[in-house]
């Protein structure tokens, strides 16, 4: 019989962290390093949340969300994790765009974007510089009325091709749209399109193994297969959680689960003031994703000039609604060349598409399986253009949908990037309405993605540390600090 996931668990901790996404792992590790007793409860049998992977017969390992992250990850990993983790981060040099408007290859740096916008798109250099400077100077407290679409119109009027180049990768990076506030676009854009796109040598499994080892070394009591059913609140103050039917007391609780699930499912709306619930009810979930995973036969490789990341679209124009359309016209391919996993002879290709939960919900098993099959076949047809004879070369292929993401992470409607922008204010307000209750999970576009989630974990860990310091004067003073989640840090 499998071991009891709660074997040896204490009756009480300073902090209980719900979930093990990058935000949770980083919060738990930071708090344990500060001397607090920490229990981490993850419902799945793996740590990592959306930073995950799966293995298939024949030795294939597929990464789910390791398409790329900004350079700031190196600094955050060194500061909040270990040098070994930071030193395993490598740059992806070959990012490609193929669509009816343009075809280009870039290193994804500000210099290269500036050069191509001037030379290839004929934009005046001063406009490009002004746009980059404006995006870079944005912060959360700025005007939230201007939309990303209006920002583009100001700097590049009548240039849908430029909008496509500058917007498409960010839509994939966090599901934002032209209608979202420009500030959410600007912050993520300047992080991503400044010094290139980075990946993790050794794969997601290696990263999460290193993180799990480090947090356990620092004293985190980390458990898998431990779904939290309830967050207990008494007289406006958190008292603990129930997992697998067991109540465990805690001075504070940090939820890394979906924000709406935290409030409405685990805590219960009766524990919050009515105006807070109104605000929380208005928080929209972000969109979800579909992916098709393809492993080439051992030893078969794709020429690296094909790209590390390839943004493709057959849509004549760029519209964010088209990116979510079930008739897929846009696919982003990640090519995981063998050098990303030293010692491996495998090349894996992952095709990702933004998707709506409603397009995959409510069908019977047979229809669902059939729809997935069609998606796989259409994707193989589409990949053929870049990887000739893909059908003969592929050793394993399968697909995931919004339902898959929902099943494995419990994100409502399979949301890939938590919530829309308004989720951030609600997430930050949680401890003001329930003492000791915090949220450190993907919200508001800015605090999502690998780097955003990790940095949010540190920000929240610092809040919890201050709270516990007041509640528990004997604890060791925290030495951690985080700079604002702007520029290359976010
Ligand atoms: C297809 C896809 C591709 C992506 N690609 C990239 C990319 O290339 N670059 C990038 O930076 N980001 C990418 N992302 C986004 C990125 O992976 C996430 O934003 C980030 O990993 C989220 O971290 P998090 O800390 O918010 O927690 P999450 O990863 O959302 O994890 C939440 C955790 O909470 C657990 N949980 C939920 N409820 C409970 C409960 N009741 N009890 C116990 N545990 C619970 C879940 O099981 C999960 O482990 C991608 C996402 C998707 C879906």
User: Could you tell me which residues come within 8 angstroms of residue 80 by beta carbon, excluding any fewer than 6 positions away?
Assistant: 26, 29, 30, 454, 457, 458, 480
CA 472 – CA 270 distance, rounded (Å)? 28
Domains and CATH numbers, the chain: 12-50+205-284+415-489 (3.50.50.60), 56-66+286-409 (no CATH), 109-195 (no CATH)
Q: How far is the CA of 49 from the centre of ligand 1 (A)?
A: 4
Pocket test for ligand 1, best of 65, 424, 457 (most atoms within 8 A of CB): 65
Pocket test for ligand 1, best of 19, 43, 456 (most atoms within 8 A of CB): 19
- Strands 12-18, 246-255: pairing kind: parallel
User: Could you tell me which residues come within 8 angstroms of residue 259 by beta carbon, excluding any fewer than 6 positions away?
Assistant: 280, 283, 418, 419, 423, 426, 427, 439, 441, 443
- Least confidently predicted of 151-165, 182-196, 218-232, 333-347: 182-196
Q: How far is the CA of 304 from the centre of ligand 1 (A)?
A: 29
Mean predicted confidence (pLDDT) in 416-432: 93
246-266 per-position pLDDT tens digit = 999 999 999 999 999 999 999
Q: Is 90 exceeded by the pLDDT of residue 363?
A: yes
User: Is 290:402 a contact under the CB 8 Å cutoff?
Assistant: yes
The average confidence (pLDDT) of the chain is 91
pLDDT-derived band at 3, boundaries 50, 70, 90? confident
Determine the pLDDT at residue 320.
74
pLDDT-derived band at 490, boundaries 50, 70, 90? very low
Helix (H) or strand (E) holding 391: helix 390-393
Determine the pLDDT at residue 55.
97
96-128 per-position pLDDT tens digit = 999 999 999 999 999 999 999 999 999 999 999
CA 484 – CA 490 distance, rounded (Å)? 8
> Whose Cα sits closest to atom 16 in ligand 1?
449
Q: Is 70 exceeded by the pLDDT of residue 480?
A: no
400-411 per-position pLDDT tens digit = 999 999 999 999
Helix (H) or strand (E) holding 384: none
435-460 per-position pLDDT tens digit = 999 999 999 777 889 999 999 999 99
pLDDT-derived band at 473, boundaries 50, 70, 90? very low
> What residues line ligand 1, using a CB cutoff of 6 Å?
18-24, 41-44, 49-51, 64-65, 67-69, 227-228, 256-257, 289, 291, 352, 405, 409-411, 416-418, 441-442, 448-450, 453
**Positive/negative CA dihedral, 56, 64, 212, 287:** negative
User: Is 73:207 a contact under the CB 8 Å cutoff?
Assistant: no
Determine the pLDDT at residue 2.
66
- Least confidently predicted of 45-54, 357-366, 385-394, 464-473: 464-473
Q: How far is the CA of 50 from the centre of ligand 1 (A)?
A: 3
């Amino acid at each position: 019989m499998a071991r009891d996931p709660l074997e040896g668990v204490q009756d009480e901790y300073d902090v209980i962290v719900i979930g093990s996404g990058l935000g949770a792992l980083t919060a738990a590790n930071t708090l344990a390093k500060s001397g607090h007793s920490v229990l981490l409860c993850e419902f799945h049998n793996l740590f990592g949340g959306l930073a995950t992977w799966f293995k298939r017969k024949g030795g294939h390992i597929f990464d789910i969300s390791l398409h790329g992250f900004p350079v700031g990850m190196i600094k955050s990993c060194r500061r909040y994790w270990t040098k070994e983790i930071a030193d395993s981060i490598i740059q992806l040099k070959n990012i490609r765009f193929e669509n009816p408007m343009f075809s280009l290859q870039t290193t994804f740096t500000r210099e290269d974007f500036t050069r191509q916008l001037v030379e290839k798109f004929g934009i005046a250099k001063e406009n490009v510089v002004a746009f980059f400077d404006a995006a870079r100077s944005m912060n959360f407290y700025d005007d939230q009325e201007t939309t990303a679409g209006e920002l583009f119109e100001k700097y590049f009027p009548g240039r849908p091709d430029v909008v496509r180049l500058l917007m498409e990768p960010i839509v994939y990076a966090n599901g934002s749209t032209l209608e979202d506030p420009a500030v959410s676009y600007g912050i993520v854009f300047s992080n991503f399109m400044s010094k290139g796109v980075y990946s993790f040598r050794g794969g997601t499994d290696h990263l999460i193994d290193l993180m799990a080892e480090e947090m356990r070394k620092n004293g985190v009591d980390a458990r898998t297969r431990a779904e939290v059913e309830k967050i207990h609140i008494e007289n406006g103050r958190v008292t603990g959680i129930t997992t697998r039917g067991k109540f465990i007391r805690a001075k504070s609780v940090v939820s890394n689960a979906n924000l709406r699930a935290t409030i409405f499912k685990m805590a219960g709306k009766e524990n919050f003031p009515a105006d807070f619930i109104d605000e929380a009810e208005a928080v929209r979930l972000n969109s979800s994703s579909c992916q098709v995973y393809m492993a080439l036969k051992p030893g078969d490789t794709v020429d690296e000039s094909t790209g590390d990341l390839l943004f493709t679209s057959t849509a004549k124009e760029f519209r964010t609604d088209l990116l979510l359309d079930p008739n897929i016209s846009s696919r982003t391919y990640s090519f995981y060349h063998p050098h990303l996993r030293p010692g491996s002879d495998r090349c894996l290709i992952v095709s990702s598409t933004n998707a709506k939960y409603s397009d995959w919900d409510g069908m019977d098993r047979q229809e669902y399986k059939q729809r997935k099959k069609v998606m796989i076949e259409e994707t193989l047809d589409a990949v053929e253009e870049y990887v000739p004879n893909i059908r003969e070369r592929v050793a394993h292929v399968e697909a995931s949908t919004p339902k898959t993401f929902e099943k494995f992470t419990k994100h409502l409607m399979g949301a890939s990037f938590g919530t829309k922008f308004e989720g951030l204010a609600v997430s930050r307000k949680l401890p003001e309405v329930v003492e000791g209750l915090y949220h450190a999970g993907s919200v508001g576009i800015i605090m999502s993605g690998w780097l955003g989630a990790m940095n949010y974990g540190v920000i929240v860990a610092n809040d919890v540390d201050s709270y516990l310091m007041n509640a528990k004067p004997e604890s060791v003073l925290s030495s951690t600090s985080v700079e604002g989640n702007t520029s290359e840090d976010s």
